[in-house]
Amino acid sequence: MIEKFLFHALIGQNANMNYEPVLLSKDIPPMHLKLLLLFILDKLKLYLRSQQNFWYPFTFHLKLMHESFLRIFEGRCSKKCQSSIQNMEDTVEAYAGNGQDALTVSLYQMDLDRTEFLLRSYLRTRLQKIEKYMIHISKSELWNRLSKPEQEFAKRCKENMENHLKQSVLSRLPFGYQDFVKQSISSEEDDMVPEPQLDTFVFCKSKGSVGSFQLDAVGDEVVDLIADDLYVLRYKSIKPLVETGQIDLV
C-alpha cells in the first residue's frame, strides 16, 4: 500500500498530488516514513543525474554554449525536480517533528541542500548565458529550444540593452553608425552580435569506444577515441558527439 501511494504521489498520473506532512506524521509509521525519505531521495537523484552531466561543464565553460544543452529544460523533469524538493522538505520536517534521530535528519537535509544547489546553479548559469548570447539565440534555431519564460526573459534583456545603448551612445554617433547589431549601415551581416566560441579547447571524456574520429573537414587531424579516456579537443570538432551523448565535457 505504501509503495502504491508513493508511486502515485511522485510519478503517478495525478501530477498535482502532494504530500501532507501532518498526514505523514500521524498516519505513516516511522519505518514507512524512513522508506518514504529514501524513495523520494532516489527519485530526485534519478531526475537530476542526467542534468548533473551538463551542469559541471556548462558552469565552468562560461564562453561556451553547446547547443545540446541550450534546449528546453525538460519542463516535466524540471517540475518534477522542484516538486520532489518541496516534498522532501515537507517530509524531512515531518520526520524531524516525530522526534527521530537528529543526525539522520541532518544527513537527509544536507543531501537535499546539495540537490537544491545543483538545480539553482543550473538555472542561474543558464539565464546568464541566455543574457550573454540573447541576440544570437533570438536569430537562430536555438530560440525554439527555450521555454516560454526564458524567451520572455531574453526579449526583455534585448529590449533593455537596445534602449540603453540608443539613449547613451548610439544616438550620439554619426548617421550610418547607429545600428544596434551592425558596425555601420554598409555591413551586410550582424557583425556586432556576440556568439559562442565553438573553437574553444575543452576537456572531454568518451563514454564508449568511438574509434578513429576526424577532427577537421580535410581529414588531416584524426584521433582515436577510447572509452573513459580524457582528451583536450576543440569543441567545434566534437560537437556532434556531444549532442549525441557519446562524449561528456568534464
pLDDT tens by residue, 178-230 = 888 888 888 888 888 888 888 888 888 888 888 888 887 776 788 889 888 89
Number of CB atoms found within 10 A of residue 108's CB: 20
Entry pTM? 0.63
CB-CB contact of 61 with 249 (8 Å): yes
Residue 90 has a CB neighbour count (10 Å cut-off) of 17
What gap in Å lies between CA 146 and CA 229, rounded to an integer?
A: 33
pLDDT of residue 57: 58
Question: Length of the chain in residues, anyone?
Answer: 250
- In 3D space, the residue among 155, 154, 249, 157 whose CA is nearest the CA of residue 207 turns out to be 249
Q: Can you tell me whether residue 233 is helix, strand or coil?
A: strand
Confidence label for 168 from pLDDT (cuts 50, 70 and 90): very high
Classify the C-alpha dihedral 48-56-147-140 as positive or negative: negative
pLDDT at 58 (0 to 100) = 57
> In the chain, what are the domain boundaries?
2-129, 133-196, 201-249
Range name among 11-20, 32-41, 122-131 with the lowest pLDDT average = 11-20
HSE-up (13 A, CA, CB side) for residue 86: 13
More confident residue, 157 or 86: 157
Burial of 39 (0-12, 13-18, 19+ CB in 10 A): middle
Quick one: angle between helices 30-60 and 2-11, nearest 10?
Answer: 30
CATH of 201-249, one of 3.40.5.60, 3.30.390.50, 2.40.50.140, 3.30.420.40: 3.40.5.60
Cβ atoms of 90 and 19 closer than 8 Å: yes
